[in-house]
Amino acid sequence: MQAVILAAGRGTRMVELTGEVPKPMLPVGGRPLLEYKLDAMPDEIDEVVLVIGYQGAVVRKHFGGRYGNKRIQYVEQRELNGTAGALWSARPLLHDRFLVMMGDDIYAKEDVAACMAKTEGWVLLVQQLSEMHRAGSVQLDAEGGITGIIESNSEDGSRQGAGVASANLFVLDTRLFFSPMVPKHAGSLEFGLPQTALTAARAQGIPFEPVFTDKWIQITAPKDLVIAEETLKNQAKKG
């Protein structure tokens, strides 16, 4: 099975740290963020497509063509037009069912396995948050299916209050590419993968279900790198 990691962005809210490396290569616990994604993948994943852009040579030099038993291929996202645009860059290399991860956030191995264990339809990893901040808000119906994914379009991107947040980890398949890309929100120049996947699922009658976690570590600002390191240490102690 294939996996795609979207790692093309610089990280505009972390610009003081990304002068020479892309955001997905920033260190946590002495290791780049991208390594945590690769380590969270089960053996079933035998090929990884890394979508690179800003400072992509840094990623290529570090990982080369393999990581453990996984082959690595690279695709450059020439136009930074959102997460759906990033995945569309990898379209020629993809077949059948595949996993999609963001290049910065950290995911638990058991959550990746739980998402991949669902063999019917498409899957999105979600987490209940007491404060949503910049996370996409996932709306569910009475049966637990995903009915909406709303991105904040406020000036600072923040949102107050509790909700179910998209962790932006997906299990999809190539039927996604039968439908057009969808903007993150009205007037946006970026195409959002959550919105595109939901629209495609509706149009094609594909079940789109959440898998809940409490282990997603979101990286949006420099302080999150410190929080992530402490969180991982605490999880290791409990484990």
Pairing of strands 31-32, 208-212: unpaired
What pLDDT sits at residue 237?
75
User: 101 near 88, Cβ under 8 Å?
Assistant: no
Query: What pLDDT, in 10s, does the model give residues 88-139?
Result: 999 999 999 999 999 999 999 999 999 999 988 999 999 999 887 777 899 9
Tell me which residue of 47, 43, 39, 34 sits closest to 95, measured CA to CA: 47
> How many of the other CB atoms lie within 10 Å of CB of 13?
16
Which domains are assigned to the chain? Answer: 2-230 (3.90.550.10)
Q: Which DSSP state fits 136?
A: P
pLDDT band at 153 (very low <50, low <70, confident <90, very high): low
What pLDDT sits at residue 213?
96
**Is the four-CA dihedral 2, 219, 129, 152 of positive or negative sign?**
negative
Query: What pLDDT, in 10s, does the model give residues 182-224?
Result: 998 888 889 999 999 999 999 999 999 999 999 999 998 889 9
Q: Which DSSP state fits 105?
A: S
